[in-house]
Amino acid sequence: MSGEDNLLRLVEAEDGDENNYHLQDQVGFILRKAHQRHVSIFASHIGDLTPPQFAALAKLYDIGETSQNQLGTLIAMDAATVKGVIDRLKARGLVEVSKHEVDKRRLLVNLTPEGREAIERLIPLARTITEETLAPLTAKEAATFLRLLAKLA
Amino acid sequence: MSGEDNLLRLVEAEDGDENNYHLQDQVGFILRKAHQRHVSIFASHIGDLTPPQFAALAKLYDIGETSQNQLGTLIAMDAATVKGVIDRLKARGLVEVSKHEVDKRRLLVNLTPEGREAIERLIPLARTITEETLAPLTAKEAATFLRLLAKLA
DNA sequence: CTGATATCATTTGCATACGAATGAATTTGA
DNA sequence: TCAAATTCATTCGTATGCAAATGATATCAG
């Protein structure tokens, strides 16, 4: 038996479960599953829009016209991702784009009337989605969870 | 005015900001950002493997040979997704697949010696990744967070 | 004023993620 | 037993998500 084996046995003896790596205890894995569950709940309430698409509309509704790049920063999407999201919203007539008068690099994005109508209609559903996502927790637990989650995001 | 409207007005009166929908307060949005941050931390420590690929290797290391479908269930991936993950791990020689002797529908998946060596080498890094992901929280907060997160996943 | 830098947007390539449809094999139930 | 239902895997289509490269424009520094 090698020295490494001996050491390993000592470690095992101390801990009892040192060798066992349990995926389901890792924060990344649980985070991924919780996110999956939320997306599924979202889809069950809002079937014709994805969470990123909803985020883009909601942010435009909140702050008004802005550049594609700035919008991406605000909703945590890189330039390549936000372009795809905006392209699809544009194809559906929910947003419209225009060139910035001064800075010719910028692409301005804004809600269309249809987009505004859509997001106003959907925001109440989004509140329901949030409630359902947090339903396994008590109100106090939910508050604690959101506070700690925000620290990690 | 309906009863619902009345209730809503009461809530608004209590809250004072009912009309304003803030994306950054929604659990789904924060969950998405926290997940993004974790993936980024993961990539900074383990550049040549994605979290889903790591999950597949870790689970195979934990339970040994299993069917592709069963593996997918254990690591929370649907059949289409797990196929892609296994295909890429197979192409890199980290897993090998074989046909189930009895049930000819099943595709058995197992670690290769290289895959086993890889996951044993990476598990300590994964512990570091978990620590770094939870670093913004105190030990007590982290324990609370994991407990509540697990309830949501 | 101008060359170096920085910013904005686009494109490509790769990797999840999932719904839906399909085909093969197995299990169930009348 | 045998038709119906189920399970396993694959394929297709669509939608994030990000790294890297590129081009256009704007800003900065000397």
Q: Could you tell me if A131 and A86 lie in one domain?
A: yes
Q: Report pLDDT for B126.
A: 97
For residues B16 and A120, what is the distance between their CA atoms, to the nearest angstrom?
Answer: 18
Asked if pLDDT for residue B115 goes beyond 70, the answer is: yes
Residue B68 beta carbon within 7 A of nucleic strand D: yes
Tally the domains of chain B. Answer: 1
Q: Is residue B32 part of a domain?
A: no
Residue A95 beta carbon within 7 A of nucleic strand D: no
Q: Could you tell me if A64 and A95 lie in one domain?
A: yes
User: Which of B75, B133, B148 lies at the smallest CB-CB distance from A152?
Assistant: B133
For residues A102 and A77, what is the distance between their CA atoms, to the nearest angstrom?
Answer: 25
Q: What's the CATH number where B69 sits?
A: 1.10.10.10
Q: Which of residues 83-112 of B touch strand C (CB under 7 A)?
A: 84-85, 88, 102-105
Cβ distance of B136 and A150 shorter than 8 Å: no
Q: Could you tell me if A39 and A58 lie in one domain?
A: no
Cβ distance of B31 and A136 shorter than 8 Å: no
* Residue entry with tokens 């998405």: B32
pLDDT level of residue A19 (50, 70, 90 thresholds): low
How many residues are given for chain A?
153
Q: Could you tell me if A34 and A55 lie in one domain?
A: no
Cβ distance of A32 and B76 shorter than 8 Å: yes
Q: Which residue has the higher pLDDT, A12 or B99?
A: B99
Cβ distance of A31 and B34 shorter than 8 Å: yes
Range of the domain at B76: 49-153
Residue A77 beta carbon within 7 A of nucleic strand D: yes
Mean pLDDT of the region A133-141: 98
Q: Report pLDDT for B20.
A: 81
Radius of gyration of chain B measured on its C-alpha atoms: 22
Q: Could you tell me if A38 and A54 lie in one domain?
A: no
CA–C1' gap, B83 and D10, in angstroms: 9
pLDDT in tens, B121-147: 999 999 999 999 999 999 999 999 999
* Choice among A108-117, B10-19, B37-46 with the minimum mean pLDDT: B10-19
Q: Could you tell me if A19 and A57 lie in one domain?
A: no
* Choice among A26-35, A83-92, A139-148, B5-14 with the minimum mean pLDDT: B5-14
For residues B116 and B95, what is the distance between their CA atoms, to the nearest angstrom?
Answer: 9
pLDDT level of residue A1 (50, 70, 90 thresholds): very low
pLDDT in tens, A39-79: 999 999 999 999 999 999 999 999 999 999 999 999 999 99
The answer for A 102-121 residues in CB contact with B (under 8 A) is none
- Give the C-alpha distances (Å, rounded to integers) separating A150 from B60, B133, B150: 33, 13, 16
Q: Which residue has the higher pLDDT, A131 or A8?
A: A131
Q: Is residue B25 part of a domain?
A: no
Q: Could you tell me if A28 and A92 lie in one domain?
A: no
Q: Could you tell me if A90 and A76 lie in one domain?
A: yes
Nucleotide nearest to B106 (CA to C1'): D8
Long-range residue pairs from B115-124, CB within 8 A, at least 24 positions apart, any chain: B115/B57, B115/B60, B115/B89, B116/B61, B118/B49, B118/B57, B118/B94, B119/B54, B119/B57, B119/B58, B119/B60, B119/B61, B120/B61, B122/B46, B122/B49, B122/B54, B122/B57, B123/A21, B123/B58, B123/B61
Q: Report pLDDT for A89.
A: 98
Residue B52 beta carbon within 7 A of nucleic strand C: yes
Q: Could you tell me if A34 and A71 lie in one domain?
A: no
Q: Is residue B21 part of a domain?
A: no
pLDDT level of residue B18 (50, 70, 90 thresholds): low
For residues A112 and A97, what is the distance between their CA atoms, to the nearest angstrom?
Answer: 10
Q: Could you tell me if A54 and A5 lie in one domain?
A: no
For residues A34 and B31, what is the distance between their CA atoms, to the nearest angstrom?
Answer: 8
